Structure 1
Amino acid sequence: MSATPVPRIFDQARRRRRWQRALARQRRADAADFLYRSFADEIEDRLGFMNLRPRTALVLGDPAGHAQAALARLGADVTSASPLDTDEERALGGSHDLVASLAMLDTVNDVPGALIHMRNALAPGGIAMIAFVGAGSLANLRRALLAAEPDRQAARMHPMIDIQAGSALMQRAGFARQVADGYPLKVRYRGLDRLVGDLRDQALTNVLASPPPPLGRAAAGRARDAFLSSADAEGRVTETFEIVTLTGWKD
């Protein structure tokens, strides 16, 4: 009996182009990098709490390089990989004390397969730390996009994984033990265009296999107005990134 084919939700060529654009944008002094700063702080905090100092680490993602720098400060020999030079749905190789995946897992088509490859890339007793933007995020953006096309709504945001599903996926991938939790990261915006720019800076835009057509001028105007309808007294909209973090150990 043949295996059930993995649904093709995301386009990996678009994902690579998104990454190239983010790398180029990160060279600017004003590029947004708050998500990756948060990820790096979270890795440092968790390793400190567990009193772990990995000797070798593989970092998947991290266009701003913050996690790589943090791990290097802890004395780890760090190898970095990106969608340009690796495919998480294939064997990653190596035998690392730590594998960190940052804002990557949520845009692979075969999530269980990617997790298995991360586990296989660990040395015995090694740990995987995985973080991404999860379900419930960007509620104001989602509402604005729906308001932009009231008569013909297109899929402009990809499906997101929640904490419960993340825990089940870690178990399915065969980690000896795992922890799934998360935290909110709140950012205030004066307009929709700045939010979209921040998403582009951090490789967080749409990479669906069936991309929708661009918003027309009128639809884009409706989206901007709908976004600002949630502004506070200072004219700012608070957008929330719900961060899911998965931690798993290899026997």
Structure 2
Amino acid sequence: MSSMTIFDRSAKLRQRERAANNPDVEVFDYVKDEVGYRLADRVFDIKRQFKHVVDLGCGRGYVSQHISADNVAKLTMCEMSPSILKHAKGPEDGVEVERLVIDEEGPLPFQDVDLVVSSLSLHWVNDLPGTFERVMKCLKPDGAFLGCLFGGDTLFELRCSLQLASLERSGGIAPHVSPMAHVRDVGSLLTRAGFVMQTVDTDEIKIGFPSMIELMIDLQGMAENNAAINRVAHLPRDNILAAASIYKELYGDEKGVPATFQVIYFLGWKPDPSQPKPLERGSGEVSIKDLYRLDEIVKEIHKKDRTE
């Protein structure tokens, strides 16, 4: 299956390696730590025992560090950056841990996995349909794929400010913020890969910074700086200063400037005969045109049940 090359994966690997070797790397983990905690909480909401869980694109263990031996027997941590994987935080004692250097775009050497989780990694993948299909193949029937990625509204303030500055100073617009998926795209990807009982929702995290400069420094420290294949290699100083001024004027106040991170969460299940099935068409007992009197209908049903 062919796919468009949107991101420079070798550049993204260099960015991750550089961030991992930064002595202050933990300073920049605040967004990914928070999102990883929220995603791990969704793992706990699935009331079952998992023999084998795969953390795809584990980063510095943003989800793995919260995994509990109460419901997970084995955890495989996968990451494309060897330096990040080496120092990634693992789960508590009692969980068997395996660490593998694996690119999210490459083959997944797993079979009959109970759960695949992925936190803030897939938005840098070129072939998302292929990745979703490979995850589907490695899951066992009734296995789940639970993950999150940055959505299209992430850093819209930075995107608009850089575009306006480029238009003013350079006479044209260049891509300075990588393109990202939207909610409808994630739902379509799950359906295309064959997942059922899907759930897709979004969350927003707003963080304040003194100025746009500090935001860009933190993005580099997170390894979330631009890796688009057609990115501009050098951003002139004049453009940066102009963009910072525009950012402050459009979105800032006396406290600083905000930055929005939109997080898209998704959950899909591999089909299995044991899963709940929708009722057949025409089997409903209440017409949709009677929804306005739903309370009356419920009372009538309860009254009928008591008499029977």
TM-score computed with the length of structure 1 as normaliser: 0.90
Measured in 2, the distance between the counterparts of 1:23 and 1:81 equals 15
Task: Tell whether the 8 Å contact from 2:54 to 2:117 is kept in structure 1 after alignment.
Answer: yes
Query: Does 1:86 pair with 2:85?
Result: no
- Unmatched runs of 5 consecutive residues or more in structure 1: none
Partner of 1:9: 6
1:117 paired residue number: 134
Residue identity in the other structure for 2:42: R
The answer to whether the Cα contact below 8 Å between 2:146 and 2:266 also exists between their aligned partners in 1 is yes
Alignment of 1:4-153 (within 5 A): 5-25=2-22, 27-28=23-24, 31-72=27-68, 74=70, 76=72, 77-84=74-81, 85-94=101-110, 95-150=112-167, 151-153=171-173
Contact 2:39 2:147 in 1 (8 A): no
1:54-73 deviations in whole A, cap 9, x for unaligned?
33221122323121111145
Counterpart residue number, 1:164: 184
* 2:252 pairs with 1:231: yes
- Work out whether residues 127 and 247 of structure 1, in 8 Å CA contact, stay in contact via their aligned partners in 2: yes
Do the aligned residues in 2 keep the contact of 1:22 with 1:63 (CA within 8 Å)? Answer: no
- Over residues 137-160 of structure 1, what are the superposed CA-to-partner deviations in whole Å (9 max), with x where a residue is unaligned? 112111221122111211112221
Change (3 A) 1:40 1:30: closer
One-letter amino acid matched to 2:43: L
Change (3 A) 1:17 1:72: farther
Residue 30 (structure 1) shift: 5.3
Q: Identity of aligned pairs, percent?
A: 25
Q: Does the 8 Å contact 2:161/2:244 carry over to 1?
A: yes
Opposite residue 112 of structure 1, the aligned amino acid is P
1:247 aligns with 2:247: no
Q: Distance in 1 between matches of 2:124 and 2:62?
A: 21
Q: 8 Å contact 1:23–1:63 — kept in the other structure? A: no
Report the AA paired with residue 254 of structure 2: A
Partners in 1 of 2:218 and 2:50 — Cα distance?
31
2:4 corresponds to which letter in structure 1? P
Contact in 2 for aligned 1:21/1:200 (Cα 8 Å) = no
| Residues 1:195 and 2:215 are matched in the alignment | yes
- Unaligned segments of structure 2, at least 5 residues: 82-100, 272-308
Root mean square deviation, CA, Å: 1.9
Cα distance in structure 1, aligned partners of 2:194 and 2:107: 15
- Quick one: structure 1 residues 131 and 156, their matched pair in 2 at CA, closer, same or farther if it must change by over 3 Å? same
Question: Quick one: which amino acid aligns to residue 164 of structure 1?
Answer: R
SS in 2 for 1:145: helix
> Whole-Å Cα distance in 2 between the matches of residues 193 and 40 of structure 1?
26
Q: Secondary structure at the match of 1:56?
A: strand
Query: Are 1:89 and 1:117, in contact at CA under 8 Å, matched by a contact in 2?
Result: no
